[in-house]
Each structure stands twice: as structure tokens, then as C-alpha cells.
A and B are shown apart, each in its own frame.
Chain A
Amino acid sequence: MTAAVVRARTRSPLSLALRRTGRSWSGRAGALILLLVLLAGLCAPLLAALEGQDPHAFHGDLVDGNNGGNPFGSFGGVSGAHWFGAEPGTGRDLFALVVYGIRTTVLIAIAATVISVIIGTTIGMAMGYLGGWFEATLGRFVDFMFGFPTLLFLIALQLIVPASIPKPVVLTVVLAAFGWVGTARLIHTQTRQLAAREFIDAARASGTPLHRVFVSELLPNLVGTLAVVVALSFPATVAVSAGLSFLGVGLDPSSPDLGVLIGQSITWTYTGADAGYLIVPSIALLLIILGATLLGDALRDAFDVRTEGAR
């Protein structure tokens, strides 16, 4: 029998799962929200140009120096020229700041997620496939890292990082360095199940080189898990990255970033004056996290991956 005869119309498990995701309510809503916010971030320069503003320009004329630097006008100085109003104190354009802020936050989170997922997948696969003392030792380490006060050490690390390295790079690297643990745990469990299957035995017996087993035998079977891992670790990374900038130990206070903006809005929130400055970046941040979480939940249901072990 030749291959051509049996080529019936079948769908791969991957495309079936993606279809299931696309049909679910949370999958659609999540993907839509995420897409819109990501687009806004990636097209930040375009959007700001469309509004005719730029995020770095100070507008002293927009804020009331006699009133603690609050913007003139209602809703934080919303007008035709400044769609979301102005930043208190400096008078920078809030719309431009927010779209550029989304861009910074999202790009850092994407980079950190990609790196941490690659590290976590490699370690998880190696643990599950190689087994033995390697698995036992690393397993202990991963278990330990899982309950680790990561946030405290992310903050502490800021002290010893040389000032010559750009802050976004530092942030990306430290986020990735601590972010891979959940991925490794999940991939490890899945690989261990796969490693016991016959096709892996066959590959091993026929002398397939290790990297080939990883890339062409294991990896295609982990695609579903990977999709879930990415969709769930991305929002977590966004939250931590914005959180660090919020605490003042992430990006520089002058860079347009959602975490920085929200952190700076504390002062203005305490004066009880300008709510818009807090609410606009907050909604943007919330939408990114919510969208990715919704999509992640839908993917998890569709691929039927259990993630209890890795929050």
C-alpha cells in the first residue's frame, strides 16, 4: 500500500486543538484583546504620529503649576490634541506615553518569555529524557526554585548589576533567569510520559543522535504544552516586569513603561487629584494580562494540559 492511498482527510491534533481554542468564548475574547493591545504597542510610533504627539516632549502649558502640577481641563486635560490628557507635573502626552509604554512592557515580556521558555524546555526535556541522577538533582533544584522568594532576589540583584548595561536588557535577563522554572516542571512531566513510549525507544535503539531525538521526536509532541506554557507565562512576566518598574527597581523613571507610569501615579493618587493618569495605564496593563490569561485558559482546555503543578 502506498502512502497516497491512505492519505485521507485527517487533521493533526494541533489543528484540532487550535480549532477548539478558536471556538471557545475565552479563546476568542483573549486573542482579540491581546491582538488589539499588541498592535497598539507595536504601532506606537505610528499611533503617536497620528495623534501628532511624542512621548518625550514636555508641555509646561498643559499643567497648572499653581495647582501642584495638575493638568488643566477635565479628565486630566483630555482634548482633541491630547486624547488621554497629559501627565501631571511634566505635561507629557498620556496617549503617546501609554502606547509607547505598552510597547516597552510587551517587548521586554516577549523577550523574557521566549528566553525562559527555551531554557525551561531544554532543561525539562533533558530531565525527562535522560532521567537518573541528572533528573534527580535538577528535580530537587527546580522544586526548590519553585518555592523561592524570586521577587526579593529580583529586587536585590538590581544592586550588583553594573550601571553600564542598559536597564531593559538587565530586566529581560533577570526575568528569564528566574522565569524558566514553571516551564521546566511542566515539560519535565510531559517528557517523562513521552520517553516511556515506543517511538522514543525506537529512536533510541536506532542510534538517533540526542539532539535529533529532542528536536524531531520529542518537541513535536510537546507543541500543545508549549503553547499553553507561553500563553500562561507571558502574562505572569508582564505582571512581574511592570511590578519591578512600579517599585522603582526595573526601568529608569524616565522611560515610557506601564509599570513606571503606574508607579509614578501613586503620588498623584495620594493627592487625590488626577485619576486618569492612574487609570489609563492600568487598563492597558490589565488588558494585556487578562487577554493572555483568557487565551491561555482556552488553550489549556483545548490541549487538555494539566498545569496545577506550575501556576
Chain B
Amino acid sequence: MAWFLVRRLAASVLVLLAISFCVFLLFYSGPSDPARVLCGKPCQPERLSQIKQFMGTDKSSIVQWFDFVKGLFVGRTYGTGAEAARCAAPCFGFSFDQRQSVTSLIWSRLPITASIAIGGAVVSLIVGMTLGPLAARFRGGVLDGLVRGGSLLLVAMPAYLLGLLAILVFGFQLNMVPVSGYVPLTESPVDWAWHLVLPWCVLGLINGAAYARYARNQMLDELGSDYLLAERATGASARRVRRTARRSVWVPVTTLFGIDLALMLGGTIFTEKVFSMHGIGDLLLGGVSSHDLGIVVGTALFGAALIIVGNLIVDVVQGFIDPRVRRG
């Protein structure tokens, strides 16, 4: 097991290095010059080279990548003297626009994105694992029809559309829940949850619909399998057989869940925009509109890191459950 962990970890680190390398080649040798953006117009050549030196963009993109990777582990300092800017250990870059390290910017936004993503994931798991097996239990019935039709519609529905429609109906027509803004958990847990009800339901329904569809079909497959027929033949009740089947549906669904949770960072961008919450997605969009290369590269790489860590966790959990994965 230890060897398996080491191997997986090493592979993840390598992948991350490879992505960051490609990103640096692409972004820091592209036509968008971050120093020029900061310099503004008109821009004296001396001032431009000063800024370049300060940002470290006067070096080649490969050297810049080395600096970045080094900054991730030991932190780095931009410029020298009185106006030097320190970026502490996991340094994901620096926003010269806001004079803050990207790490601290991400850190300040993370609670919002995590609240939306984790809550949405929990709702989707509950929705999927309740409705999916139930639909399989009453196959061909009214509930099954509703679940199948509903999941078809919801899988086709973009999250932002459902979000806007939810705001329209529950926010403005029925005036039931707040439609925007975020209240920190530490300030008031009740307000926190109340503001997140709509985003959670939107994300939960859309992802839960996919789980329900998957769980239903998987359940039907399992119920038709030989080992359950054998269990049935030993005299086990139908209820008991269904419980066994449900257990084996959980395994692939948790895998899906782990990956989706990591990918949710992408999915929450729409939710954040629709419900005007300033999470990491909003940070990235802001970075694009203000031409802040530091923020954009830092957030994108942070997102990639999150997904790789998520995959790693899924792998390890599966390695614990299923010994075959460890050897593979």
C-alpha cells in the first residue's frame, strides 16, 4: 500500500509540473505582456523594463516557470528594496494589480466556492441515490417515468439556466429565499445556509439527475446478475437482495462523486455568476477582464491541482476498497 501511495503521489506531482510547464510556455510567451498592461499608456521604455524586472517577466518563460515552481515550495520575493513584495510558500503567483499574492486571493475566496460545491455535491448524492434505486424498484411505474423524464430534462439543462429560472420563480415570484450574496459561515450559520439553498438545489438537481440515471441503470443491471439470483435462491428476501445490489451501486457512484466534486470548481463558476457570489470562479473571470495574467494562471493551475488531488484521493480510497487497483 505504501508503495502504491508513493507511486501515485509521484505521478500526480509530475503531471502538475507538466501542466504548469505548458501553461507557462503558452501564457508567458504569448502576445499578452503583463508588464505592458501594468505600465499603462503612455509607457516609457525604461519604466517598462523596470516593471518587467520587478515582475520577473524579463527572463525567458522557462526560467519563469522555474521561479514559479520554486515559489510553490519556498515562496518568493518580487523586486528588491522598499517596494519588494513577498509571496509566501505555496506561491501561486502575484497580482500586481491588487498587490496581493494569488494564494491569499484564492484563500479568501475558497470558503465561498467550497460551500457551494460541497453542499451541491451532498444534495446531488442524496437526490441520485434516493431516486435512482427507487426508480429501479418501481420500474415502469409513475415514479420511474418521472425520474427518467426529469433526469433527461435536467441533464440537458445548463446550470446557469436552471439557476436563473430558480431566481425568477423562488426569488421574485414567490419571494421565498434570498437570490444573491454570501454570508460567511462564521458570521451566521443559518444565514449562510439560507443564502446557499438555491445554489445547492440547482447544482444538486443537475448532478443528482445524472447520478439517478446512472444508479437506476446500474441497479437494474445488478438485480439481473447471477450472484444476486444465487442469493435469491438461498431464500433471501427481495428486500435483502435489493440491499446487496444497492451496496454494489455505491462503489461506482462514489468514484463518479469524487471526480465530480473536484470538477465542481469549474461548475461553480456559473453558479457564482448567477447568484453573484464572489468565489474562485469570479476571481478568474475578474482576472480575465482586468488582464491580470498572474491571477488567471494562478487560478487555472490551482484548479488543475485540485482535480489532481481529487483523483489521487479517489485512487487511494479505491485502493483501500479494492486490492486489484493497488496492483494495476
Contact = CB atoms under 8 A, between A and B. Distances in A.
A99 B205 CA distance: 30
Contacts of A249: 285, 288
B299 interface: yes
Interface residues of A, number: 39
Contact of A293 (B152, B165, B273): B152
A159 B293 contact: yes
A160 B270 contact: no
Contacts of B311: 147
Interface stretch (B26-34, B73-81, B227-235): B26-34
A262 B270 contact: no
Interface in A256-309: 262, 265-266, 269-270, 272, 275, 278-279, 282, 285-286, 289-290, 293-294, 297
Contact of A243 (B160, B285, B303): B160
B165 A144 contact: no
Given A278-B168, A282-B161, A160 B307 contact: no
Given A148-B304, A247-B270, A247-B273, A269 B164 contact: yes
Q: Is the interface of B mostly helix, strand, loop or mixed?
A: helix
A59 to B, nearest CB: 25
Interface stretch (A125-133, A150-158, A188-196, A210-218): A150-158
A249 B299 CA distance: 16
A235 interface: yes
B180 interface: yes
Q: Is the interface of A mostly helix, strand, loop or mixed?
A: helix
A152 B161 contact: no
Contact of A270 (B180, B266, B270): B180
Contact of A152 (B165, B167, B273, B300): B300
Contacts of A235: 156
Nearest to A146: B259
Contact of A265 (B30, B164, B289, B303): B164
B102 interface: no
B296 interface: yes
B274 A266 contact: yes
Given A243-B270, A286-B156, A158 B288 contact: yes
Nearest to A240: B158
A144 B155 CA distance: 24
Given A162-B31, A248-B289, A275 B168 contact: yes
Nearest to B280: A152
Interface in B285-301: 285, 287-289, 291, 293, 296-297, 299-300
Contact of B284 (A147, A156, A243, A289): A156
Given A156-B284, A156-B288, A151 B269 contact: yes
B238 interface: no
A147 B264 CA distance: 11
A246 interface: yes
Interface in B5-59: 15, 26-27, 30-32
A156 B288 CA distance: 7
Given A269-B167, A270-B180, A159 B291 contact: yes
A246 B304 contact: no
Interface string A228-253: 00000001000100110011110000
A80 interface: no
A248 B285 contact: yes
B85 interface: no
A175 B168 CA distance: 30
A247 B163 CA distance: 14
B284 A152 contact: yes
Interface in A150-176: 150-153, 155-156, 158-160, 162
B55 to A, nearest CB: 16
Nearest to B262: A147
A228 B297 CA distance: 35
A207 interface: no
Nearest to B34: A159
A209 interface: no
A152 B265 contact: yes
B266 A152 contact: yes
Contacts of A149: 263, 265-266, 300, 303-304, 306-307
B164 A247 contact: no
A153 B172 CA distance: 34
B293 A150 contact: no
Given A159-B296, A243-B270, A294 B152 contact: yes
B131 interface: no
B180 A289 contact: no
B304 A247 contact: no
B168 to A, nearest CB: 6
A289 B158 contact: yes
A242 B299 CA distance: 22
23 contacts: A148-B304, A151-B267, A152-B266, A152-B299, A156-B300, A158-B288, A159-B287, A159-B291, A159-B296, A160-B27, A242-B158, A243-B158, A246-B273, A247-B270, A249-B285, A249-B288, A266-B164, A269-B172, A278-B164, A278-B165, A279-B165, A285-B161, A286-B161
Given A278-B168, A289-B156, 6 more contacts: A151-B269, A152-B266, A156-B27, A243-B270, A286-B157, A290-B152
